[in-house]
Amino acid sequence: MEIFDRDKEFANLKKQVARANKAITRIENVYGEDSWGVNRLYNKLDNDTFKGITKGGRIRVTKSMSDEQLKAIQKATNNFLNNKKTSTLTGIKGVIKEVKSSLKGTLEDENHPITNAEINKLYDLVEDKDKRVDTERIGASTIWTTLTEAKDKEAQEGFMDEDAYFKLVEKRGNITLTDEDKDFLEDIYLKYFNKQ
Q: Report pLDDT digits (tens) over 24-46.
A: 999 888 877 667 678 778 877 87
Cβ neighbours of residue 63 under 8 Å, at least 6 residues apart? 6, 10
- Examine the pLDDT at 157 and tell me if it is beyond 80: no
Q: What is the DSSP string of 64-129?
A: TS-HHHHHHHHHHHHHHHH-HHHHSHHHHHHHHHHHHHHHHHHH-BTTBPPPHHHHHHHHHHHH-T
**Residue 18 in this model has a pLDDT that exceeds 60:** yes
- Contact (Cβ atoms closer than 8 angstroms) between residue 107 and residue 114: yes
* Mean pLDDT on 18-27: 93
Phi, psi of 126 (to 5 degrees): -85, -35
Report in angstroms the alpha-carbon separations of 9 from 18, 20, 119.
Answer: 14, 16, 37
Listed in sequence order, the residues at least 6 apart from 15 whose beta carbon sits closer than 8 Å to its beta carbon are none
- Residue 19: what pLDDT? 95
Q: Pick the residue with more confidence: 119 or 129?
A: 119
Please check the confidence at residue 108 and state whether its pLDDT lies above 80: no
Mean pLDDT to the nearest integer, 153-164: 75
Amino acid letter for position 176: T
Instruction: Quote the pLDDT of residue 22.
Output: 95
Helix (H/G/I), strand (E/B), else coil: 53? strand
Res. 109: pLDDT tops 60: no
**Selected residue with higher pLDDT from 1 and 42:** 42
Contact 17, 41 (CB under 8 A): no
**Model confidence, pTM:** 0.60
